[in-house]
Amino acid sequence: MKPIYLDHAASTPVHPEVAKVVYHMLLEEYGNASSVHTFGRSAKKIVNGARDTIAGFLGCAPDEWVFTSGGTESDNLALFGAAEASVHQGKHIITTAIEHHAVLHTCKELEKQGFTVTYLPVDSTGRVSVHDVEAALQQDTVLISVMYANNEVGTVQPIEEIGNLARERGILFHVDAVQVLGMLPMNLRELPVDYMSFTAHKINGPQGIGGLYVRRGAPLSSRQHGGLQERGRRAGTESLAGAAGFAKAVQLAVEGLAGRQEKAMMLRRTLLEQLDRRIGSGRYVINGSREYFVPGILNVSFPGTQTDVMLMNLDMERIAAASGSACTSGSLEISHVLKAMKLPEEVLNSAIRFSTGLGNTNEEMEHVAQKVETILKRLRK
C-alpha cells in the first residue's frame, strides 16, 4: 500500500482544482496589484475577486477580510493589533491554556509589554467553561482569545456563548478558526466575533497564504509597515497565486461541507471500529470531547507505549501521524494541551494524533488499525 498521510491537521494536500488556479496565476499573472498600468489593474482585479469570493462564502463584507501569510500571522495581527489599539481602555487579556503557540507566545510577548494575561484552564475533554471566562473578567479586560476547535484533540469550544458574553461587556473577541473551516458551518455575520483567523493550507489550499476577519468597526493597529495594502492594515505586495488559490479552496470547502463532514465521520468511525476489533476498546483511550469535536481530528493514547516510539514505528510502516501541533512536533516535550487537560501520565506519554482529509479511505483506516495491532504486539515482546 502507498504511504498513508494522517496529518491533515498540520497541512493538507493541495486540491487539484486549486493547483490549476495557482499554476495559471504563476504563469500568466505577475503584475503588482498596486501598479496603475494594465498588468497592475489585472492583478488588483484578481486580489479583489478572491477577497469577494472568500467574503461571500464566509458571510462577511469584503472590506472585513485581510490577507496574511497564514494562521500565525493572523493570530499575531489580531492580538497585537487589538491590544495596541485598545491599550487606553485596559491591559487585561483572557485566553486559554490550550491555545496554539501562535496565540500563547504572542500573549507572553504582550505580558512583556505590560499587559496581564489570564490563562484559563480546561476540563478533561479540553473544553473551557463559559463561567470561568465570566469569572476572569476584570474592569480593564479588553480582549478575549479562544480557539474554535483545538488542533491537537479536536475539541470545539463554546464560541457563541463566549462571544455573546464579550459583546455584552464591550470586550473584543478573537477566535483562531484554522481547524474548523470546511468542517463546521460558518457565517461571520451571525457570530459574535470581532476577529477570526484562517489559513489556506488546512483546507487543501496553498501554503503561505491566510486571512484575518476584522469586524467592521473593530480596532486594529497595523503590525507590518510599508505600503497601504489591505486598507493599511497589512503592508506588502499581495500574493496573486495565493489569494486566488485560497479563494478556490474556500469555495470547495464550503460548498462541499456536508460531504467533508460525512467522510470525516466515516473514517473516524472505521478507524475506531477496527481498533476495537483488533486490539480491544480497553487498550486505547480517546482524548478530547465525545460530544463537541471536529471529526477530522482523533487523538488516541495507547497506554504502555511511548508517543515517540509509536510514531517511529508508524513511520516505518509508511503511516504519517503526529504527536500534536506541527509547530512543536520536532520536540519530545509532552503536549501542553494534554497537560492542561490533566490526563493520567500513561495517557500523556502515549498520545497520537490521527487527522484525516482529502484522499484518505476506509481501506487505509483498516490498514492503520492492523499496523497498530502489529506494532503493539512487537513492542510487548
pLDDT in tens, 209-248: 999 999 999 999 998 889 888 888 998 989 999 999 999 9
Q: Please indicate, yes or no, whether residues 250 and 346 belong to a single structural domain of this protein.
A: no
Burial of 71 per CB tally in 10 Å (0-12, 13-18, 19+): buried
Active site residues: 327
Which three cell numbers, joined as nine digits, stand for 50?
A: 478572491
Number of domains in the chain: 2
Give the pLDDT mean for 33-59.
Answer: 94
3-state SS assignment for residue 142? strand
Q: Please indicate, yes or no, whether residues 249 and 282 belong to a single structural domain of this protein.
A: no
Question: Is residue 353 predicted with pLDDT exceeding 70?
Answer: yes
Taking the C-alpha atoms of residue 157 and residue 373, their distance in angstroms, rounded to an integer, is 33
Most confident of 38-42, 209-213, 225-229, 322-326: 209-213
Question: Is residue 329 predicted with pLDDT exceeding 80?
Answer: no
Q: Please indicate, yes or no, whether residues 85 and 189 belong to a single structural domain of this protein.
A: yes
What number of other Cβ atoms are within 10 A of residue 200's Cβ? 30
3-state SS assignment for residue 19? helix
Give the pLDDT mean for 35-39.
Answer: 91
Taking the C-alpha atoms of residue 380 and residue 78, their distance in angstroms, rounded to an integer, is 48
Q: Please indicate, yes or no, whether residues 226 and 306 belong to a single structural domain of this protein.
A: no
Give the pLDDT mean for 135-155.
Answer: 98
Neighbouring C-alpha atoms within 13 Å toward the C-beta of 352: 23
Domain endpoint, select from 186, 221, 255: 255
Q: Please indicate, yes or no, whether residues 195 and 50 belong to a single structural domain of this protein.
A: yes
Is the CB of residue 213 less than 8 Å from the CB of residue 178? Answer: no
Q: Please indicate, yes or no, whether residues 222 and 320 belong to a single structural domain of this protein.
A: no
Domain endpoint, select from 221, 255, 289: 255
Using CA atoms, how far residue 151 sits from 39, 58, 299, 335, in Å, is 40, 21, 10, 11
Lowest-confidence pick of 17-21, 201-205, 211-215, 221-225: 221-225
Q: Encode pLDDT of 170-185 as tens digits.
A: 999 999 999 999 999 9
What is the residue range of 215's domain? 16-255
% the chain with pLDDT above 90:
90
Q: Please indicate, yes or no, whether residues 277 and 238 belong to a single structural domain of this protein.
A: no
Q: What is the pLDDT, as a whole number, of residue 253?
A: 98
Q: What is the pLDDT, as a whole number, of residue 228?
A: 84
Mean pLDDT of all residues belonging to the chain: 95
Domain of 218: which CATH number? 3.40.640.10
Report which of 66, 49, 54, 76 is spatially closest to residue 231, judged by C-alpha positions.
66
Helix (H) or strand (E) segment spanning residue 263:
helix 257-278
Neighbouring C-alpha atoms within 13 Å toward the C-beta of 191: 25
Q: Please indicate, yes or no, whether residues 282 and 308 belong to a single structural domain of this protein.
A: yes
- Specify the residue for cell string 493547483: 19
Taking the C-alpha atoms of residue 69 and residue 208, their distance in angstroms, rounded to an integer, is 5
Give the pLDDT mean for 268-276.
Answer: 98
Give me the DSSP letters along 196-237.
EEEEGGGTT--TT-EEEEE-TT-----SS-SS-TGGGTS-S-
Q: Please indicate, yes or no, whether residues 224 and 331 belong to a single structural domain of this protein.
A: no
Q: Please indicate, yes or no, whether residues 320 and 330 belong to a single structural domain of this protein.
A: yes
Q: What is the pLDDT, as a whole number, of residue 185?
A: 95
Which three cell numbers, joined as nine digits, stand for 61?
A: 463584507
Question: Is residue 331 predicted with pLDDT exceeding 90?
Answer: no
Question: Is residue 261 predicted with pLDDT exceeding 50?
Answer: yes
Q: What is the pLDDT, as a whole number, of residue 328?
A: 47
Q: Please indicate, yes or no, whether residues 251 and 262 belong to a single structural domain of this protein.
A: no
Q: Encode pLDDT of 80-130 as tens digits.
A: 999 999 999 999 999 999 999 999 999 999 999 999 999 999 999 999 999
Is the CB of residue 129 less than 8 Å from the CB of residue 80? Answer: no
Is the CB of residue 279 less than 8 Å from the CB of residue 373? Answer: yes
Give the pLDDT mean for 364-368.
Answer: 98
Q: What is the pLDDT, as a whole number, of residue 235?
A: 85
Q: What is the pLDDT, as a whole number, of residue 179?
A: 98
Give the pLDDT mean for 155-176.
Answer: 98
Question: Any idea of the CA torsion for 292, 295, 296, 302, to the nearest 10 degrees?
Answer: 80
Instruction: Quickly state the pLDDT bin for 324 (edges 50, 70, 90).
Output: low
3-state SS assignment for residue 75? helix
Q: How large is the angle between the packed helices 257-278 and 362-380, nearest 10 degrees?
A: 30
Domain of 281: which CATH number? 3.90.1150.10
Lowest-confidence pick of 9-18, 31-40, 154-163, 199-208: 31-40
Give the pLDDT mean for 363-376.
Answer: 97
Give the pLDDT mean for 294-298.
Answer: 97
Question: Is residue 325 predicted with pLDDT exceeding 90?
Answer: no
Q: Please indicate, yes or no, whether residues 335 and 251 belong to a single structural domain of this protein.
A: no
Domain endpoint, select from 229, 255, 281: 255
Taking the C-alpha atoms of residue 320 and residue 143, their distance in angstroms, rounded to an integer, is 37
Is the CB of residue 168 less than 8 Å from the CB of residue 144? Answer: no
